[in-house]
Amino acid sequence: MAKFLVQKSAPLRGEVKISGSKNAVLPIMAAALLTEEQCVIKDVPALRDVDVMCSLLESLGASVDKDLQNNRVTIEPSGEIVYEAPFDLVKMMRASILVLGALLIRTGRAVIHLPGGCAIGKRPVELHLKGLRALGAEIDEEQLKRGIVDAKVDKLTGSTIYLDFPSVGATEVIVMAAALAEGTTVLENAAQEPEIVDLANFLNKMGGRIKGAGTDTIKIEGVKSLRGVSHHVIPDRIEAGTFMVGAAMTGGNVLIKNIVPDHLKAVIAKLRECGAHIEMRDEGMVVRGDMKPLNSTDIKTLPYPGFPTDMQSPFMALLTVAKGPSVVIETVFENRFMHVGEFNRMGANIKTDGNYAIIPGDKALTGAQVVATDLRAGAAVVLTGLVAEGTTEVSQIYHIDRGYENFVEKLKALGASIMRVDD
């Protein structure tokens, strides 16, 4: 199994270009199934999850031309689309569920095993199914007990739907299905993430009629058909946040290019509270941690526009070396403290109680053998390795490959001492 070897490094310096958003491109690729015409998606990150989505779309009958060297994927679902997604692909990636609405539109049926992905909590699909039921789909309850979503529909019809929690995945699936449903759908308590806005922009380019994306109420007027388009994916705000934290906690000075500051307001605010200097320039965002010592702060994860749960573990890495104690409260996923054990192997001495973590801070960390327990935690232990004495050996790095394009190469270009070792 491949692993990363990380050494204590000099402060990160230089510039880095952020890749296209993983969490935006996957629903957009799924949405390409809603037309029979060719869609060209640009700024696609070369990631394991993108590879899996390409394979999934091909298995369903779409023609996919994957040119990740040039960060481009061309999808043409003009042939016959099958309704069942293969289990061996679905189990590799939770985002597989995103094809649910598109399959119902194209075939009148969708059969998908409950998917895999990071083990960070239940992340149930009940809200996805609630939305589809409201649009007229029938879900086989016996199959559902066996972990299989088997949905059928003669005709999807617009409805008013209230989500009990602003689930990103449920919002995306419902918006995709409603785009070609008959009549108008109003989705209340919708997720507001920038990735939702990118999906809506993509669908509207195709001829959709979606208003309110980025707010808690989205109105979708169903249309008869959608056309093929070309689309640039937004930059990855979580990758950007990860490099921002890396620059700050190593006492570095990094220019981060291809970034949308508005997507990172909560992260920017918290980094400034810790004492990092952040400056917006025409060419990007400069993050400096070399102007004064970093202080502690408290964070609480919330749905967007609150502090993102995906940034919780990278930010906790910073708090382990900041001066003074901090409290982190995780409100989105119940299993998202699995990285705490890995930080503690390095001397962080973090205590957890339910969804609270208490970080004493100001610790002299030591390299250790650690595990990437999930995608973001994997990036977090790498950042911690950059400030720890000795060598940090990070295993199960396939998690990191799922969500960070050229992670090692980008860190090396900033002066990090890190290498990938393939056993």
User: What is 361-420 written as a DSSP string?
Assistant: -----B--EEE--SHHHHHHHHHHHHHSBSEEEEE-THHHHTT-TTHHHHHHHTT-EEEE
pLDDT in tens, 138-175: 999 999 888 899 999 999 999 999 999 999 999 999 99
The count of C-alpha atoms lying within 13 angstroms of the C-alpha of 162, restricted to the half-sphere facing its C-beta, is 1
Q: Write down the domain spans for the chain.
A: 3-18+235-421, 22-232
The mean of the pLDDT values for the chain is 95
Question: Average pLDDT of 396-402?
Answer: 94
SS3 state of residue 66: strand
Any idea which fold 3-18+235-421 has?
Answer: UDP-n-acetylglucosamine1-carboxyvinyl-transferase; Chain (3.65.10)
pLDDT at 116 > cutoff 70 = no
pLDDT in tens, 348-397: 999 999 999 999 999 999 999 999 999 999 999 999 999 999 999 999 99
pLDDT-above-90 percentage for the chain: 91
Output the pLDDT for position 145: 86
54 catalytic? Reply is no
Output the six-digit token pair for 238. Answer: 């979580």
Q: Comparing C-alpha atoms, which of 399, 420, 25, 405 is closest to residue 202? A: 25
Looking at residue 115, what is its pLDDT?
Answer: 66
Give the pLDDT confidence of 249-290 residue by residue, as tens digits.
999 999 999 999 999 999 999 999 999 999 999 999 999 999
CATH topology of domain 22-232: UDP-n-acetylglucosamine1-carboxyvinyl-transferase; Chain (3.65.10)
Q: Region 180-185: what's the mean pLDDT?
A: 98
pLDDT over 90 at 182, yes or no: yes
Task: Describe the strand order of the beta sheet including 184-188 as a list of residue ranges.
Answer: 160-162, 184-188, 217-221, 209-211
pLDDT of residue 118: 42
Q: Which of 39, 54, 118, 274 is catalytic?
A: 118
% of the chain at pLDDT higher than 70: 98
- Provide mean pLDDT across the span 19-34: 98
Phi, psi of 283 (to 5 degrees): -85, -5
Asked if domains 3-18+235-421 and 22-232 share a fold, the reply is: yes
Q: What share of the chain is helix, strand, coil (3-state, %, to 5)?
A: 35, 25, 40
Residue 130 exposed, middle or buried by CB count within 10 Å (0-12, 13-18, 19+): middle
The answer to whether 221 touches 215, Cβ cutoff 8 Å, is no
Contacts of 86 (CB under 8 A, 6+ apart): 56, 59
Residue type, 109: R
Residue 72 token pair = 């481009």
